[in-house]
Amino acid sequence: MALWCISHCVFGQTIIEGKVTDAETGDPIPFASVYFQGTTIGVPTDFDGFYRIKGEAKSDTLVVSYIGYETKTKAYQKGVTQTINFQLNPEATALSDFVVTAGKVENPAFDILRQVMDHKPMNDKRRLAAYEFDSYNKIEIDVDNISDKLRQKKFMRKIAAVLDSIEVIAGEDGKPILPLFISESLSRYYYRSDPRLSKEEVLKTKITGVGIEDGSLISQVIGSSFQQYNFYQNRMNIVEKEFASPIADGWRILYDYVLEDSVTIGGEFCYLLDFKPKNDQELAFVGKMWITKRDFAIKQIDATVQRTANLNFIEKIKIQQELDRVENGAWLPVKTRVLVDVAEITNKSAGFLAKFYTSNQNLRVTEPRDTRFFDRAIELSEQSREYDESFWEQNRHDKLTPTEINVISMIDTLKNIPIVKTWTTLAKTFARGYVEVGAFDLGPWPFLLGNNNIEGWRVRVGGRTNEHFSRRWQFNGYMAYGFDDEKYKYGLGATWIADRNNWTTFNVNYRKDIDQFGIQPDALTDIDGGTAFLALTQLGNLVRPFRYESYQLGAFRQFSRAFSAGILLTNKSFQPEFDFRYRTNLEKPDSPLGTDFSTSEVTLRLKYARDESFIINDNSRISLGTLRWPMFMASVTRGFKGVAGGDFDYTRINLGVQQRLKLGFWGVSNYQINAGHTFEDLPYTLLNAHIGNEQIVYTTIAFNTMQFYEFVSQSYASLRYQHQFGGFILNRVPLVRKLKWRLVGTGNILFGGVSQSTLDVQALTDENGNSLPQFDVLENGRPFAEVGVGVENIFKFFRVDYIRRLTYLENPGVEKSAIKFSFNLSL
């Protein structure tokens, strides 16, 4: 009898282990409840979705449940050790999982949340003077929800055949996915709080992807720097949007909460709280968080942004995070998993999954490093590319799952399908603007063909070398021909990259072409937002066109993370193609008139941007902008008469400041303040011509109700302001909220003037007394002003602005108001 009892206790105990994953993505589901049906015996899954449960129960059914997923059951065999895996299907009604009702008794979750608020300063990692950690990052991008109609397309048949042969990627009950990209990286991350600076040294990378041949750019963006999620911030930046944290200062206004349970996790007794936004269209989360009883800190959190939020193309964003306490009491993430589920645009297309995983080890609180150490926010090791699998087996923080091994295998197969090669080449060409042919890039293709009233039809061919040719030298050139003016235009240039660490370049350029006065942005204007506008101004009737020939020498250096400087030496000859005259001797009002003129000038440009960061793409550098601080710019130009044919002496200064202000709940503001002055009397073509906009396209670099070349200034000051409310206002309008439109407000104001002495030297008539085209001058104290209101996110792609001109309505030919359209693709 005793022997039977011993054998039953030892050999008859039920032990079940396995993994719980998402049926649509194949990702693990941490924190899910696994329990024997009809009992209180249960365990949660760990961060990687694994569980191990043992015990006895009357039933033979194992249950798995988790918020946002359908509950699933499976039969198990009693008295033996076994493996049972679960795949859960997402539930469409996750936001309705709990209901909060008003009553006399206060919600018990509120007392816990007040304690969380009180302890936030102590628990927030940003209070640490400095810390460091080793980081392992893994990114996977897949195509999912491939429709039957899409699979039947001719170009998809071979791809579908590969997909059908490896459907195990999504698991036994899951949907097949088509992997496009998977990467791994090892890096070292550094942080200091005063001033707030961070740096990542990307040590090793491994990239496998369809259409990915050179991973130098991608290697810089797959590390820990782009996976920093801190729920102790009131607002978190995700896919360029600001999301309210469930422990934000305004928590009671934004969220509803339920105290669901208490549980011990990693030796910490925790309260389990459910949360969801009061308004389901707010950029906020629904999910669970585990709050420690001792420190009232987040131990674990599972937060999801669902498709009801005012986001485009996004089905779901899920962030799962596990944190540990470090010395001095603050909590740092040790594991983070992020899923971005991009919805299908049409029912004939497919969706995308982007999956990010970060593991941090060797977390250490340290003394702050010198600020110079942080000059380069992202530093890529010269020997970073590592494809030896034995190295990764020894150094990656977690083993690859069978699913991820299958993903790599499928990508290698897909890369060799001819139709895939063709489509990836076309996609890269469209995105880059150039066709890559070995060591050369041909293009840019948007300038291949054009038409205007001076040249008629214009064709252009050109190109540049890329880093396959040299990482030190880049050469570029183009040739264009106009069929009406029957003239060739061309340009040549060379750049020497002397230092890629402290970005230092020297360049020389020659151009002989055609342009127009009053359209070119000044030295401080960001043209990124006006590309479409500038392209349109090159078509049709050119405004005050001129031919030119220019020689330019330039040098640039990034002296520190914040400060950079550049110098340009330019000699340029102008040949106006419209009625224009100037006094050849500006000091004599009766001096002979001239048409063509030349300038020889030196320009010094300075920029101070305290927290600007960059990544290097091929042989160029891309700014990622600033996070919190404004960007200050200044330029000084000195023109020399008699040097290399220059016709004028002059000094010009321009000053500017711009900033993007994230105001959380209220939206995002952008402002730009510019001012400038030209000290000498000059022909009006060399003064500041403010950019007007007679096109139907809205642009941020122009005054949108001002005519082309309507105003010219010798001294000026301007303010451009735009506020994007997001869904703050229109989300609350019952009949409009379903459209997910977003309100925009704009306002521009310009002060300027021209001295009387400068006006006196302008030529009003030609040699025969015929009137010449002139310009308007802003009156002292009377600015040009316009305000506007717009709606963006129309059909997810378009923006419409109504702009009202407030001043100088008496000028001939002006329109008091204008409606402008623009293409605006945003999430």
Please state the φ and ψ torsions of residue 331, each to the nearest 5 degrees. Answer: -115, 130
> Quick one: pLDDT at residue 129?
94
pLDDT average, residue stretch 614-637: 87
> Quick one: pLDDT at residue 308?
75
How far, in Å, CA of 51 to CA of 57, rounded?
17
3-state helix, strand and coil shares in percent for the chain, rounded to the nearest 5: 15, 45, 40
151-155, 376-380, 815-819: segment of lowest average pLDDT: 151-155
> Quick one: pLDDT at residue 322?
94
Pairing of strands 545-558, 504-516: antiparallel
> Quick one: pLDDT at residue 347?
64
Please check the confidence at residue 49 and state whether its pLDDT lies above 50.
Answer: yes
Please check the confidence at residue 491 and state whether its pLDDT lies above 80.
Answer: yes
pLDDT tens readout for residues 663-689: 877 888 999 999 999 999 999 999 998
> Quick one: pLDDT at residue 419?
67
pTM: 0.78
Where does residue 442 rank: exposed (0-12), middle (13-18), buried (19+ CB within 10 A)?
middle
Rg (CA), the chain: 32
**Contact between residue 342 and residue 354 where contact means Cβ atoms under 8 Å apart:** yes
Please state the φ and ψ torsions of residue 267, each to the nearest 5 degrees. Answer: 85, 0
89-93, 312-316, 345-349, 464-468: segment of lowest average pLDDT: 345-349
Q: Residue 368 gets which letter from DSSP?
A: P
Nearest to 632 by CA among 662, 609, 614: 609
pLDDT tens readout for residues 281-327: 788 899 999 999 999 999 999 999 877 777 777 888 899 999 999 98
pLDDT-above-90 percentage for the chain: 43
**Contact between residue 630 and residue 669 where contact means Cβ atoms under 8 Å apart:** no
> Quick one: pLDDT at residue 275?
94
Nearest to 263 by CA among 276, 255, 272, 251: 272
pLDDT average, residue stretch 171-196: 79
DSSP string covering 212-248: ----HHHHTTSSGGG----TTSSEEEETTEEEE-TTS
| Cα torsion 303, 308, 309, 313: sign | positive
> Quick one: pLDDT at residue 166?
52
> Quick one: pLDDT at residue 349?
66
Q: Residues of 211-236 as b/e, b for ≥16 C-beta within 10 angstroms?
A: bbeebbebbbebbbbebbbbbbbbbb
If pLDDT is split at 50, 70 and 90, which confidence band does 5 have? very low
How far, in Å, CA of 632 to CA of 610, rounded?
9
Please check the confidence at residue 608 and state whether its pLDDT lies above 70.
Answer: yes
> Quick one: pLDDT at residue 3?
42
Q: Determine how many CB atoms are found less than 10 A away from the CB of residue 91.
A: 15
| Structure-token match 């039969």, residue found | 75
> Quick one: pLDDT at residue 217?
66
Where does residue 4 rank: exposed (0-12), middle (13-18), buried (19+ CB within 10 A)?
exposed
Please state the φ and ψ torsions of residue 565, each to the nearest 5 degrees. Answer: -150, 150
pLDDT average, residue stretch 730-744: 80
- Give the mean pLDDT of the chain: 85
Residue 643, both tokens:
């040097």
- Of residues 479 and 696, more confidence is placed in 479
pLDDT tens readout for residues 103-123: 567 889 999 999 999 999 999
For 483-624, strand residue ranges (E) read: 487-499, 504-516, 545-558, 563-576, 582-583, 593-594, 597-609, 614-617, 620-623
272, β-bridge pairs: 261, 290
If pLDDT is split at 50, 70 and 90, which confidence band does 6 have? very low
Residue 485, both tokens:
């003016």
pLDDT tens readout for residues 512-550: 999 888 776 565 555 444 455 566 666 678 888 999 999
What distances in angstroms separate CA 153 from CA 145, 150, 163, 176, 309, one per listed residue?
15, 5, 14, 18, 33
> Quick one: pLDDT at residue 94?
44
pLDDT average, residue stretch 190-196: 91
Contacts (Cβ under 8 Å, ≥6 apart) of 629: 609, 610, 611, 659
Where does residue 458 rank: exposed (0-12), middle (13-18), buried (19+ CB within 10 A)?
buried
Q: Give me the numbers of helices (H) and strands (E) for the chain, helices first please.
A: 11, 45
101-115, 189-203, 556-570, 595-609: segment of lowest average pLDDT: 101-115
How far, in Å, CA of 543 to CA of 708, rounded?
7
**Contact between residue 544 and residue 578 where contact means Cβ atoms under 8 Å apart:** yes
Provide the CB-side half-sphere exposure for 94 (13 A, CA).
29
- Of residues 427 and 781, more confidence is placed in 781
Residue 582, both tokens:
């100037």
Compute the residue count for the chain. 827
pLDDT average, residue stretch 503-517: 94
pLDDT-above-70 percentage for the chain: 87
Residue 316, both tokens:
């779901």
**Contact between residue 272 and residue 263 where contact means Cβ atoms under 8 Å apart:** yes
> Quick one: pLDDT at residue 25?
76
> Quick one: pLDDT at residue 133?
95
Please check the confidence at residue 386 and state whether its pLDDT lies above 80.
Answer: yes
What distances in angstroms separate CA 751 from CA 18, 564, 672, 706, 777, one per listed residue?
70, 29, 14, 14, 10
If pLDDT is split at 50, 70 and 90, which confidence band does 359 have? very high
Please state the φ and ψ torsions of residue 556, each to the nearest 5 degrees. Answer: -145, 145
- Of residues 610 and 827, more confidence is placed in 610
Nearest to 575 by CA among 664, 484, 512: 512
**Contact between residue 792 and residue 802 where contact means Cβ atoms under 8 Å apart:** no
Please check the confidence at residue 458 and state whether its pLDDT lies above 90.
Answer: yes
Nearest to 9 by CA among 76, 55, 59, 53: 55
